Amino acid sequence: MKERLERMRNGKGFIAALDQSGGSTPKALKLYGINESEYSNDTEMFDLIHKMRTRIIKSPAFSDKEIVGAILFEQTMDRKIDDKYTADFLWEEKGVLPFLKVDKGLEELEDGVQIMKPMPGLDELLKRANERHIFGTKMRSVIKKASQTGIAKVVDQQFEVADKIIAAGLVPIIEPEVDIHNVDKAECETILKNEIKKHLDKLPETSNVMLKVTLPTVENFYKDLTEHPRVVRVVALSGGYPREKANEILAKNKGVIASFSRALTEGLSAQQSDDEFNKDLAKAIKEIYEASVK
């Protein structure tokens, strides 16, 4: 664990978010050039998305030279690439740290935010994650309004679950996403950062977390969090920005690296030849890497 923690804390590169789950898989497949008419049930759908993720992970463009971690969906963790479980393939063949998305989706909007749905099977999932050699986890909430009480509720819940993940020996990525379309986005980020700091300052020295945040309105807004002793890494989601715009904003935020999903796979297609696919993926990885290491 010590070697892997050091790799995440100081490794150059970014995190590839390959964790689209049941609700977002059809959209991810459509962007990849596979329409809903090409599969007839969830089994076929998940087979296709695993094939897409396998193609990305096995690409020569996907390596530890630019990528330090990859976030997986639960089904991806339980599947194999070349007879190895996906997490083992990532670490042993690619030198990339595997993370697992553990949340079960979002509750309805209330008080300007969407907290996470209950996770009754979390303990069992964390046990399986350890058996599959997962390094860390990720869980997402969403903030749509500068509500002090709503944002505090989001952060309280995130750190409450993070405590269980830390106790299981894993490193949690706390992801309170601020919707990029919020008219009061900057105010949301100010409240959010203050709430996060309150919790970070209470963590014992043995506890480590990561933070996944929306690319901020103010440059270097999260600089103090990147320097907090309890924070292994601060990563940024693309949040719906196209890759070029996301990279442009990211490059202005020192110490923050990418954890992009749509921006990483933008332009990739099932219809491409392997040469075309690998060339486009290499270009995307190079651009995101350069914005991350600036």
Report in angstroms the alpha-carbon separations of 193 from 21, 46, 133, 154.
Answer: 28, 36, 31, 12
Q: Considering the chain, what percentage of its residues have pLDDT values greater than 90? A: 96
- Asked if residues 173 and 158 have their Cβ atoms less than 8 Å apart, the reply is no
Q: Note the pLDDT of residue 210.
A: 98
Enumerate residues 6+ apart whose C-beta is below 8 A from 100.
Answer: 19, 71, 72, 74, 77, 87, 125, 129, 132, 134, 136, 137, 138
Take residue 63 and report the two structure tokens written for it.
Answer: 């390596």
Q: Catalytic residue at 160? A: no
pLDDT at position 21 over 80: no
Q: Considering the chain, what percentage of its residues have pLDDT values greater than 70? A: 100
Q: Note the pLDDT of residue 5.
A: 95
CA dist., res. 167 & res. 163, Å (int): 6
Q: What is the pLDDT of residues 240-275, one digit of tens each?
A: 999 999 999 999 999 999 999 999 999 999 999 999
pLDDT at position 20 over 80: no
- Of the residues 66, 74, 175, 287, only one is catalytic, namely 175
Task: Read off the pLDDT band of 31 (50, 70, 90).
Answer: very high
Q: What is the pLDDT of residues 164-188, one digit of tens each?
A: 999 999 999 999 999 999 999 999 9
pLDDT at position 225 over 90: yes
Take residue 126 and report the two structure tokens written for it.
Answer: 């964390």
Q: Catalytic residue at 212? A: yes
pLDDT at position 107 over 90: yes
Q: Note the pLDDT of residue 22.
A: 64
Q: Note the pLDDT of residue 24.
A: 83
Please state the rounded mean pLDDT for residues 181-206.
Answer: 97
